[in-house]
Amino acid sequence: MEEATTPLFQQVAELVADAIVDGSLPEGERAPSTNELAAFHAINPATARKGLSLLVDAGVLQKQRGIGMFVTEGAREKVIAQRKEAFAGRYLVPLVDEAAKLDMTASELRELLGSVAESRGLYD
């Protein structure tokens, strides 16, 4: 787990969602259990359970009584859609605010963003 201001249960949910997005936890597969997550990350099982519950509430995981939690069909697309919706507020607003503090123009910011994107292999 990372040292951050984000609550641990949200970090748990993000880690599991990351695994769904990158394909290491595909649709139909059993998600790590509360106890597995708690032991691996050395956290309280209630914290892990709360993180998994966020994903159940979002329709990304479903409980199968006595068996565990499984990745739902369409879960990857749901997670991506949710993250795209939150993207501007989470990343772009702070970026633009910092650029404004540095007296950067919009064209300077676009040029910098394009340069960084290209260096990371993202092209038009």
> For residue range 47-71, what is the model confidence (pLDDT) as tens digits?
999 999 999 999 999 999 999 999 9
Q: How far is CA 88 from CA 3, 16, 21, in A?
A: 23, 22, 19
Domain boundaries, the chain: 6-74, 75-118
> For residue range 83-98, what is the model confidence (pLDDT) as tens digits?
999 999 999 999 999 9
Q: What is the pTM of this model?
A: 0.80
Q: Please check whether the domain covering 6-74 is classified as CATH 1.10.10.10.
A: yes
Across 1-124, where does the E strand assignment appear?
Answer: 61-64, 68-71
